[in-house]
Chain A
Amino acid sequence: MRRGPSAFNIAAITLGMGFLYLPIVLLVIYSFNASRLVTVWGGFSTRWYASLFQNEQLLAAAWVTLRVAFVSATLATVLGALAALGLVRAGRFRGRTLFSSMTYAPLVMPEVILGLSLLLLFVSVGLPRGFWTVTIAHTTLTLCYATVVVQARLVSFDEALEEAARDLGAPPWKAFVLVTLPNIAPAVAAAWMLAFTLSLDDLVIASFTTGPGATTLPIRIYSAVRLGVSPEINAISTLLIGLVATGVIAVYLLNMRRRTPGA
């Protein structure tokens, strides 16, 4: 028998959710405000959205950001899945402790340190800063998140299934591709999504490692925010929130559907 939530529990949940969502809801509402002033409601309007699509700089930055996020998320997911396999399946190998520390540390490492250290690396080897340096930096950051997500799924996957395939004559790669990969696919997809959104969102590391022609959207938004609140920023933020929320909810529902019949 599990007791239901008490009045205190419900109050805590309501307050907590209110705190988490109120600012976002207000931000979205005021992106449709006809007035330029935040506190004055001037009627419903989509003019700020229209003006976004005429802002060349912003569009260029959005394009750079999407490309960086796509490439770095893909790289990070592949490397992260390999790292997870190594950590879960390889048993004890030389340098395992160092390896697992390197995979977990960037999760909590302050971003300024990661950004600064990568920049110094790029400067010292003379790599010109731009698209690729940001992409490498984001891959390094998101690789760790991808590893953790895939690893969590791998530890609960019964290795005997893959061994059965091998016993039946499948070579290791085939057993992996046909048995293990379909099983961890939802986690791999989730890892990619997480890496993609983290890259989309990052300001600090991108600021350190970017160069001419590779200004990302968060850098643009940040410099606009420093000048003050404006409805255009609300509009672009609303679009980004909508994009990410749709993606996350889609993945969530997909996972739910997959799980229900099998369980």
Chain B
Amino acid sequence: MSVTGAPRPRRPWKRLGRPRGSPSWEARAAFLPYLWLGLFFLAPFLLVAKLSLSDVVLAIPPYAPKLDWSAGLAGVAAFVRALDFEAYARMGHDGLYLAAYLSSLKFAAVATLILLLTGYPLAYGMARCRPSVRQALLMAVILPFWTSFLIRVYAWIAILKPAGLLNMALSQVGLPAVDILNTDTAVYIGLVYAYLPFMVLPLYAVLERQDDSLLEAAADLGCTPFQTFWRVTFPLSLPGVAAGALLCFIPMVGEFVIPDLLGGSGTLMLGKTIWTEFFSNRDWPAASAVAIVLLATLVIPIVLFQRQQTKLMEQR
């Protein structure tokens, strides 16, 4: 074992195996999922972009123009000429879309903040427990994540509805009833409830790995417990904070089930807008245009999230 000296290649014999230039079998194996994702993940986005430039017509499928390959190049030219930004223009004129856009961002941002404030103490407390207890608690946080999202949101309806369990409990102790279901408050409760495991898990992962001797060093140097937390524990947990925040914020902006079931008619969110345009109004171009705008908004957070994921996977 050479501890000092020039860095050696870790496994020098590895290069002998295959001729330079020919891909390993692992690289060939990746071709299949690559093809699948290209076909069913990447290509569909081009179609959404195309459709957002189309017009609504009364037909099946309900949009025009359709590409006519039989007409050759002339057909393609006619097709391209018929595309326009009408769906986007309508979005700009109609204040409802802008309101839904801003309110989606607000819901997601505020809920992410609440999640951080509730998830951090929970993850921190878990990381301080004995290893055997920690395992059980981790399991307890993961379990709701595996059980149905829809069912967990449904459970809140029975609690929050006017003649529901919350008001029953309140009247038992002599407090006035509250009307929460179909309000923004209910949407916040639902978002925080449904996404709490997504926040706790990345936070717990960084907090659990933290070296206790750092805390002892800080204490020896005269830090109060709060200072130790604020100047050592918290800064070191920032990657977990970022991962948790992104993991919650991005899907929450486009959330549909929670605002639909717990929110009221006044609750505007883009996920709901896309759903309504598509299923109720049968306006596919408008739904596509909203989807493109939503995607454009989320591109930066998604790229940040991917970078972090890649870094996490490669540093282990």
**Interface with A: B68-76, B77-85, B87-95, B305-313, which one?**
B305-313
* A237 in the interface (beta carbon within 8 A): yes
Does B158 touch A at the CB level, under 8 Å?
Answer: yes
Q: In whole angstroms, what is the CA distance A219 to B44 when docked?
A: 23
- B15 CB to closest chain A CB, in angstroms? 12
User: A116, B193: Cβ atoms under 8 Å?
Assistant: no
| Distance of A218 Cα from B152 Cα, bound (Å) | 12
Q: How far is the CB of A165 from chain B (nearest CB, A)?
A: 12
What separation, in Å, do the CA atoms of A15 and B253 have in the docked complex? 27
The answer, among A20, A110, A117, A167, for a CB contact under 8 Å with B271, is: A110
Q: Is B124 a contact of A9 with CB atoms below 8 Å? A: yes
Q: Considering the complex, which residues of chain A in the window 41-71 have a beta carbon less than 8 Å from any beta carbon of chain B?
A: none
Contacts of B314 in A (CB 8 A): 155
Tell me whether A16 and B164 are in contact in the complex, defined as CB-CB below 8 angstroms, given that A103-B37, A106-B41, A121-B47 are known contacts.
no
Number of A-B pairs, beta carbon distance below 8 Å: 293
A168 — which chain B residues lie within 8 A by C-beta?
none
Rounded to whole Å, the gap between the CB of B23 and the closest CB of chain A is 6
A19-B193, A112-B271, A244-B147 known; A118-B44 Cβ under 8 A: yes
Q: Which residue of A lies closest to B192 (CB)?
A: A19
Interface size counted on chain B using CB atoms at 8 A: 104
The listed residue with most A CB atoms (<10 A of its CB), out of B47, B161, B247, B270, is B47
Majority secondary structure of chain B interface residues (helix, strand, loop or mixed)? helix
A215 within 8 A of partner (CB)? no
Residues of B255-272 whose CB lies within 8 A of A = 255-257, 261, 270-271
Q: A90 near B118 (CB under 8 angstroms)? A: no
**Which chain A residue shows the least CB distance to B32?**
A82
CA distance A186 to B27 in the complex (A): 23
Q: Which of chain B's residues 199-244 have a Cβ closer than 8 Å to chain A?
A: 200, 212, 215-216
> Residue among B26, B31, B270 with the most chain A CB within 10 A?
B26
What is the CA–CA distance of A229 and B157 in the complex, to the nearest angstrom?
7
Which listed residue, B40, B122, B287, B302, touches A12 by the CB 8 Å rule?
B122
B:108-126 near A, CB below 8 Å? 118-119, 121-122, 124-126
Q: Are A147 and B302 within 8 A (Cβ)?
A: no
Nearest B residue (CB) for A106:
B41
Q: In the assembled complex, how far is the CB of residue B261 from the closest CB belonging to chain A, in whole angstroms?
A: 6
State the Cβ distance, B200 to closest chain A Cβ, in Å: 8
Instruction: Decide if B150 touches A140 in the complex (CB within 8 Å).
Output: no
Inter-chain contact A155/B47, CB cutoff 8 Å: no
A-chain residues with CB within 8 Å of residue B37 when the two chains form the complex: 99, 102-103, 140, 143
Query: Residue A1 at the B interface, CB < 8 A?
Result: yes
Shortest distance from the beta carbon of A32 to any chain B beta carbon, whole Å: 14
Asked if B56 is at the interface of the complex by the 8 Å CB criterion, the answer is no
Contact B125 A13 (CB under 8 A): yes
Complex Cα spacing A30 to B40, Å: 41
* Residue among A9, A21, A88, A105 making CB contact with B306, cutoff 8 Å: A105
Chain A residues within an 8 Å CB radius of B291: 112-113, 116-117
Q: Which residues on the A side are within 8 Å of B129 (C-beta)?
A: 4-5, 9, 13
- Taking a contact as CB atoms under 8 Å apart, the answer to whether B165 and A39 are in contact is yes
CB pair A27–B151 under 8 Å, yes or no, is: yes
Query: Would B41 and A24 count as touching, CB distance under 8 A?
Result: no
Interface contact B48-A120, CB-CB below 8 Å: yes
* Distance in angstroms between the alpha carbons of A120 and B278 in the assembled complex: 11
Q: Which residue of A has the minimal Cβ distance to B219? A: A3
C-alpha spacing A30/B158, complex, angstroms: 10
Within the assembled complex, what's the spacing in Å between the Cα atoms of A61 and B14?
52
Residues of A within 8 A of B121 (CB): 8-9, 12, 16
Shortest Cβ distance from B261 into A: residue: A225
A sample of 23 inter-chain contacts (CB < 8 A) reads A4-B130, A8-B121, A39-B168, A79-B32, A82-B33, A86-B30, A88-B26, A103-B37, A109-B298, A109-B302, A110-B256, A110-B271, A110-B298, A111-B254, A112-B256, A112-B271, A120-B284, A136-B40, A139-B40, A148-B309, A197-B147, A225-B261, A229-B158
> Told that A110-B255, A112-B271 touch, could you supply 16 new A-B pairs with CB distance under 8 A?
A12-B121, A13-B122, A19-B196, A20-B140, A39-B163, A104-B306, A105-B41, A110-B253, A123-B61, A143-B36, A143-B37, A148-B309, A200-B148, A218-B150, A221-B154, A234-B158
